[in-house]
A = this chain, B = another copy of it.
């Protein structure tokens, strides 16, 4: 049996069910390259689950998962994953590989940035369109800009995740990401992400140190939001309640927010 267990958004983001599964496993693996789990240390986690943990890099999960599959065939294997397990598409592949050779699989869900970021900002989750990821400048992509443009046309908000390179401890920061989006605006000119556009930064979602800040893109691009991970939200039309939330929870300037309120 191969059980994928979500670690959630911070060091105690594991659920009680996840803890139980990890305690009862014959072999426990972890990957920490798809996202950052603030505060998590292997030693503390090993103590919590009373079990040893084997750390896997991207190659060992995506190209040579023999070690995982063998452990899952011969006993109970648990694979610990940041956030909610299947949000990173790479793990679906591993799950299908296991099922195809007759190894049962299951998922113990964890908190995900997909619902946490909307929740922290006070924006309504059913008003979010598709999400996208902003990659580092060395692998540029127009996709996040196009997704924001498409969502805005439909009156929908956009969650933008930021690239990470965990092996090098490099995390795209909100200010860098905003600058990347402003460059895409200069190139593609669809008025989807201008210096005047309302943007919301959510830093360290799910931790006791979480921060939400709304304002003009150009203003936020000059700020330092502290340690990672960060994400961006690009709001579209706002309900009156959402505008209130951005002012109260995100300290967004009233004159910026009010332009977006649906009449």
A binding-site residues for B, Cβ under 8 Å: 6, 8-10, 12-17, 19-20, 48, 83-87, 89, 92-93, 95-96, 99-100, 106-107, 109-112, 114-116, 118-120, 122, 124-133, 150, 154, 156, 205-206, 208, 210, 241, 244-245, 248-249
The answer to whether A110 and B111 touch across the interface, beta carbons within 8 angstroms, is yes
Contact A15 B17 (CB under 8 A): no
Q: Which residue of B lies closest to A86 (CB)?
A: B119
In the complex, which residues of chain B have a beta carbon less than 8 angstroms from the beta carbon of A17?
A: 10, 12-13
CB-based closest 6 A-B pairs: A86-B119, A109-B111, A12-B17, A112-B115, A12-B16, A84-B115
Contacts of A115 in B (CB 8 A): 83-84, 86-87, 109, 112, 114-115
- Chain B residues contacting A122 (CB-CB under 8 Å) are 86, 92, 95-96
Please report the C-alpha to C-alpha distance between residue A110 and residue B83 in the assembled complex, in whole angstroms: 10
Q: Whole-angstrom distance from the CB of A97 to the nearest CB of chain B? A: 10
A113 CB to nearest B CB, Å: 9
CB <8 Å contact, A131 and B125: yes
Q: A61 CB to closest chain B CB, in angstroms?
A: 15
Q: In the assembly, what is the distance between CA of A83 and CA of B119, in Å?
A: 12
Q: Which residues of B contact A248 (CB under 8 A)?
A: 96, 99-100
Q: Are A133 and B126 in contact (CB under 8 A)?
A: yes
Contact of A241 among B96, B110, B206, B249 (CB under 8 A): B96
7 A/B residue pairs, CB under 8 Å, sorted by A = A14-B15, A86-B115, A96-B122, A96-B244, A99-B248, A106-B210, A114-B115
Contact B130 A87 (CB under 8 A): no
Distance to closest chain B CB from A18 (angstroms): 8
Question: Which of A100, A150, A205, A245: most chain B Cβ within 10 A?
Answer: A245
In addition to A8-B109, A107-B119, 11 A-B residue pairs with Cβ atoms within 8 Å of each other are A13-B16, A16-B48, A92-B124, A95-B122, A96-B241, A106-B210, A109-B111, A126-B131, A126-B132, A129-B129, A130-B154
